[in-house]
Amino acid sequence: MPFFAVSGLRVQGDALRSGGQRKLALPDPGPDPTDAEALLAALRARRSELAGARRLLSAVVMASLEDLTRYPSGSRPHVTAVAWFLNDDEAWPYAFRPACDALELDPEAVRARVLATLLARGAA
């Protein structure tokens, strides 16, 4: 990369082309909200940071994701977990949509990814 002499300093050409501004790295956006496995890992990592109701909601989401992977398709826990992810009830605070809202997750993106993962595994 070429360097230019400016009053005894060496400045990279990219810095001059961008108006002398430094390029700052964006903060890490965190896990992909549509990746069920990454979401589960992120929720496990954040468990100690969450307090009260948010920690309980995190445990509910994690338990549902684990039921989908742990139990065979058609078993009662698996069917219950699928029904929980498909439920749009907002009256119950531990339903899927209110849980996602409290955890600042996009419910439609999470649902789409979970269902796509189930279909890919042939477990829906």
Q: Is the pTM of this model over 0.85?
A: no
Domain-embedded: residue 27: no
3-state secondary structure of 4: strand
- Does residue 70 sit within a domain? yes
Residue 109 lies in a domain: yes
Tell me: the pLDDT tens digits for 24-40? 444 455 555 556 677 77
Q: Which residue range(s) make up the domain with 55?
A: 36-121
Closest CA to 110 of 54, 33, 46: 33
Question: What is the number of structural domains in the chain?
Answer: 1
Residues of the chain with pLDDT under 70: 1-36, 46-50, 123-124
| 9 lies in some domain | no
In a domain, 26, yes or no: no
**H or E segment and range at residue 11:** strand 9-12
Tell me whether residue 5 is in a domain. Answer: no
